[in-house]
Amino acid sequence: MTKAGSRLLNSARQAAAIARGEAEPARLYVPAEIDVKAIRTRVGVSQDDFASEFGFTVNQIKDWEQNRTRPLGGVRAYLILIDRQTDVVRQMLSEIRATLRDEQQHDGRMAV
């Protein structure tokens, strides 16, 4: 059996033991709330520029900063990446935008 298969079987056994009440589930670590304004301030851009550069709407940024809503799921993970690896995220987005521009230009030439 592969390592992955062994881990899956072990996980299934642990889940069954938890369901039977024979074991306690692991505790889930939930990080502190994400301070979008602090991230944006550290990055050094306005709300409009932050939204534009990283693919959000200005309303999302305003809502998060004024605690009307909060980022969840993948957006939360993305904000953590922006906070911890700003230059890497910027470089990746720049490369993606360049690739998309090239593809659009190529598609335009092909249609002629």
Q: What is the number of structural domains in the chain?
A: 2
Residue 104 domain boundaries = 31-111
55 neighbors 62 (Cβ within 8 angstroms)? no
- If asked whether residues 49 and 96 sit together in one domain, one would say yes
- Over residues 36-83, the pLDDT tens digits come to 999 999 999 999 999 999 999 999 999 999 999 999 888 988 999 999
What confidence category does residue 26 fall into, taking pLDDT thresholds of 50, 70 and 90?
Answer: confident
- If asked whether residues 52 and 85 sit together in one domain, one would say yes
Q: What DSSP string describes 61-83?
A: HHHHHTTSS---HHHHHHHHHHH
Selected residue with higher pLDDT from 15 and 46? 46
Alpha-carbon Rg for the chain, nearest whole angstrom, is 21
Mean pLDDT of the chain: 86
- If asked whether residues 25 and 36 sit together in one domain, one would say no
